[in-house]
Amino acid sequence: MWANRDWVGRSLPAGTPAGRELDAYARVVNAVEGNTTFYATPDAATIDRWRTATAPGFRFVFKLPREITHDWRLRNTTAELGIFLDRIEPLGDRLGPLMIQLPASFRPDDLPVLAAFLDTVSTSFAWSVEVRHLAFHAGGDAERLLNDLLHERSVNRVVLDSRPVFDGPRETPEEIDAWEKKPRVPVRAVATGEQPIVRFIGQIDANPPYWKKWVDTVVRWLDQGRRPVVFLHTPDNLVSPELCRRFHAEVADQSDEPNLPPAPPVPTQDGLELG
């Protein structure tokens, strides 16, 4: 998300008007996890506005509509997928890997369905897959088959790390809600494509070992020539943009690889022109 009014005056300039948050957000960080597309496909005017609000180098990582991934579970979705892809295609170079986020009920015996779906999608787009069923995180045959499937098709695996949520603290309403609702899955830092995606959820300073391991992993992936995408969330997301900049700085301090995109300039409260 980008339209978090709690960021205005903190991570975004104090004068950021409602409806123009993306313009400001895109000058603080260089990617966003587009959760809105999971619930509804944006209209053409919205897509045009999103492109205008961002500069080259910014990336939208959109989730496929839930109708495709959860309701129809990747079966018989050619028409719906075509409508969605046609709608977002004008974003062009602003598009990161499209995210196929599958429910926990998507089991190992559903892998042939995923394989058939991936074999029909357009290679004009980059793709990623997030799975929630525990068998895909257990290090056994199911996980190996999934990783092989994604590797053979150069599809990125999304790695969810919610461990800090369950290690605490658990004091605020947001922290308690995250503890009750976030998926609990083992973490395996695997890269099956050129752009592995990490979704890190938790209070960073309370659990620094997790943060440090991801900095090291991203540096290693960059050294391998990959272009990882990292999203950092907290239960209330108040400091997420600040954490993104901090993470980028720590990675940049350890790697001079050209695959690491530069962070946007540090924003100022009165020096951000919104047009």
The CATH number of whichever domain residue 207 belongs to comes to 3.20.20.410
CB 164 within 8 Å of CB 203: yes
Which residues, other chains included, contact 190 with Cβ-Cβ below 8 Å and sequence gap of 6+?
Answer: 147, 157, 159, 196
**Residue 99 falls within a domain, yes or no?**
yes
Query: Does 266 reside within a domain?
Result: no
Residue 168, pLDDT score: 75
Mean pLDDT, the chain, whole residue set = 90
| CB neighbour list of residue 245: distance below 8 Å, 6 or more residues apart | 28, 29, 263, 266
Residue 159 lies in a domain: yes
Instruction: Find, among 115, 99, 38, 103, the residue nearest to 73 by Cα.
Output: 103
Domains: count for the chain: 1
**Confidence at residue 266, expressed as pLDDT on a 0 to 100 scale:** 62
| Residue 155 in this model has a pLDDT that exceeds 90 | yes
Any domain includes 245: yes
Q: Evaluate whether residue 260 is within a structural domain.
A: no
Which residue do the tokens 């800090």 mark? 164
Distance CA 173, CA 188 (A): 29
On whether residue 30 sits in a domain, the answer given is yes
**What pairs with residue 233 in β-bridges?**
201
The pLDDT, as a whole number, for residue 275 is 28
pLDDT digit string, tens, across residues 162-221: 888 888 778 888 888 887 888 888 898 999 999 999 999 887 676 678 899 999 999 999
Give domain status of residue 273, yes or no.
no
Q: Angle between the 141-152 and 111-118 helix axes, to the nearest 10 degrees?
A: 10
| Residue 129 banded pLDDT, cuts 50, 70, 90 | very high
Domain of 50, in residue numbers: 5-254
pLDDT at 273 over 70: no
The answer to whether residue 274 is domain-embedded is no
What pLDDT band is residue 264 in, cutting at 50, 70 and 90? Answer: confident
pLDDT digits (tens, 9 = 90+) for 61-102: 999 999 999 999 999 999 999 999 999 999 999 999 999 999
Look at residue 169 and give its three-state secondary structure. Answer: coil
